[in-house]
Structure 1
Amino acid sequence: MSLWNALTRNRAATRPDHSDARLRGRAYAVPFAPVWKAALDTATAQTRWTVTESDPRAGEIVAESRTLLWRFTDDVRIRVSLDTDGNTRVDVESASRKGSADLGTNARRIARFLHALDRHLFGQQRATR
């Protein structure tokens, strides 16, 4: 992440072609149900996160995350879906509620979540990006 982005953006989101490798989301050759459960378990286990909604039919998990230093509340949305190749895709969006710059917090939060999800599913299948 560039310094300019850290000082001018207050949100981050994954997409398959993102220039930042940490923000490319994940595609797993694992059925939806185990990936959904792993994503929900991983979100629930994250430090300073509170899962506020989870809807397996819509494939969405909504959470609030508090920053360590100032205790600001940020919003996190996790989407679990099937991609065109039949893989289970996980995408994440994290946005600050306050301020115009997050100093890279949202991108780091997404990267930490995706790494934890990879570890949770490691025994089943490695992620493809």
Structure 2
Amino acid sequence: MNASPPGPAVLEITANAGVVRARQLVRALAQECRLSLVDQTKLITAASELARNTLVYGGGGTMTGAVVEERGRRGVRLDFEDQGPGIPDVDLALTDGWTSGNGMGLGLSGSKRLVDDFVLDTVPGRGTRVTITKWGR
């Protein structure tokens, strides 16, 4: 009988230290899930970008992370949520090279390419929620 994964961990992302803690938690979850080193790196990179977006563009928020089991597979699911201004043009925001600030324009589109599941829910004036999952192979 398999033990069920522990409940989700929630981190506040209100300063750069929160971005660092998010990366550390994601690494621990990826290792617990036994993701390959390549998949760990992809997930940590995507999480770092999304945590930074939560801080810089959303004014801070939370990251919830957990090992999940679904349809006989294990993975790591991360949820980034803020109450910032939201994203007025999602298609534009997901375009490679586009940036609303001084970044390289790889945050959302790059994060989407690095994970298996990517869900973006945003309402201008009400904030943004991005949920990503990386599944074990």
Higher relative contact order (CA 8 A, sep 6+): 1
TM-score if structure 2 supplies the norm length? 0.31
Q: Which has the higher helix share?
A: 2
